[in-house]
Amino acid sequence: MEKEVQNNTLIKSKGIASVKIADDVVSKIAALAALEVDGVSAMAGNYTSENIEKASPKNILKSSKIFVNEGKVRVDMSILMNYSYNIPATSKLVQDRVKSSIESMTGLDVTDVNVRIAGITMPE
């Protein structure tokens, strides 16, 4: 299976068929996977799992950046965490969840998932 990048879209081809995966799709997979982790309250920009579907792809891309090079993916993302959660442990869970979600849904190899804690959400 060949992989090439063209106009921020990964093209996977085999025989006569090809699949094009836009960066927006990978970014949304990463954001939704991060929001599944207990302790993550939102993506930077205050995007929660409830309103991420309504948000435009350009706004979601601000909270997570996707870099594709020769079929390898690097993810840089910013999240908001709930108060009282262990930052290193929760960040590791986010990295693992994002990596496994992208790899299982797209077949791409994820080399790095860099997590930036953009803020803490205080309880009401």
Expressed as residue numbers, the domain containing 71 is: 23-121
Count the alpha carbons within 13 Å of 87 in the hemisphere toward its beta carbon. Answer: 11
* Residue 45 identity: G
15 within some domain: no
For residue 33, tell me if it sits in a domain: yes
Residue 10 within a domain: no
Angle at 93 between CA 26 and CA 43, to 5 degrees: 50
**pLDDT (tens digit, 0 to 9) for every residue of the chain, 124 residues total?**
445 444 455 556 666 677 778 888 898 899 999 999 999 988 887 656 555 555 555 555 567 889 988 778 999 999 999 999 999 999 999 999 999 999 999 989 999 999 999 999 998 8
Residues 6+ apart with CB under 8 A from 61: 23, 24, 27
Encode burial over 95-116: b for 16+ CB neighbours within 10 A, e otherwise. bebbbebbeeebebebeebebe
C-alpha span between 100 and 103 (Å, rounded): 5
Count of all residues that appear for the chain in the document: 124
Q: Classify 70 in phi/psi space as left (phi over 0), alpha (psi -120 to 50) or beta.
A: left
If one counts the domains in the chain, the total is 1
Phi, psi (5° rounding) for residue 118? -90, -15
User: The CATH number of the domain where 117 resides is what?
Assistant: 3.30.70.1350
